[in-house]
Amino acid sequence: MSARGTKLEKYLPSSESFDINEFPFYWVARLNALYSMEIEKTLKPMKMDISRWRVAMLLRIHGEMSISDIAEHALGKLPTITKIVYRMKDEGLVSVEQSEADGRVSVVCLTDQGIENVELVRQRTEGLFKRAFQGFTEPQIKKTTQLLNRFFDNLSVD
């Protein structure tokens, strides 16, 4: 086995020397879970959850999106996103309309109430984010997203 292979062996769950505490994906999962739980604490009093919030944030940034655009960015299954969107529609947070250009696509857009809602969540979560970034320098944060991106790209190649 190559020198590189030997060194990296402990990161393979099938290896004898595997150590879960050194395993990046264990921490990705844990961090994501903790982050989600903290966000939900903030969202709960306003009858929101993290699924809705992710959709709302994407719409705030991109203006209007099709259901599959949202599914792609939020990495969710199509039926899941469809149902979240229609839940949000029932709650008055988004509008859903058939596209003029392509009769198959549903164009989703935040309503005024939806925009208002996003701003409110943003304000209320600010403290949480400041806490999360405590002690980090700008290059360190950049480095983090860069490393995560590389893992993401590696897993993206089919």
Partner DNA sequence: GTAATTTGGTTGATTATTCAATTAAATGTT
Partner DNA sequence: AACATTTAATTGAATAATCAACCAAATTAC
From 132, 141, 148, 158, select the one nearest 25 (Cα to Cα): 148
Give min distance, CB of 44 to a second copy, in A: 14
CA distance 99 to 137: 44
42's tokens: 């903030």
Say if residues 109 and 85 touch (Cβ distance below 8 Å). no
Q: Are strands 106-110 and 94-98 parallel, antiparallel or unpaired?
A: antiparallel
From 59, 101, 63, select the one nearest 84 (Cα to Cα): 59
CA distance 113 to 119: 10
Between 99 and 146, whose beta carbon lies closer to a second copy? 146
Give min distance, CB of 55 to DNA, in A: 10
Determine if 6 is a binding residue for DNA (CB under 7 A): no
Between 76 and 125, whose beta carbon lies closer to DNA? 76
Give min distance, CB of 120 to DNA, in A: 18
Among 10, 60, 73, 87, binds DNA (CB under 7 A): 87
Between 30 and 77, whose beta carbon lies closer to DNA? 77
Give min distance, CB of 64 to DNA, in A: 11
**What's phi and psi for 94, nearest 5 deg?**
-135, 165
Secondary structure (3-state) at 42? helix
Between 74 and 96, whose beta carbon lies closer to a second copy? 74
Q: Binding string, 95-124, against DNA, x = CB under 7 A?
A: -x----xxxxxx------------------
Q: What residue ranges bind DNA (CB under 7 A)?
A: 40, 44, 49, 51, 66-69, 71, 76-80, 82-87, 96, 101-106
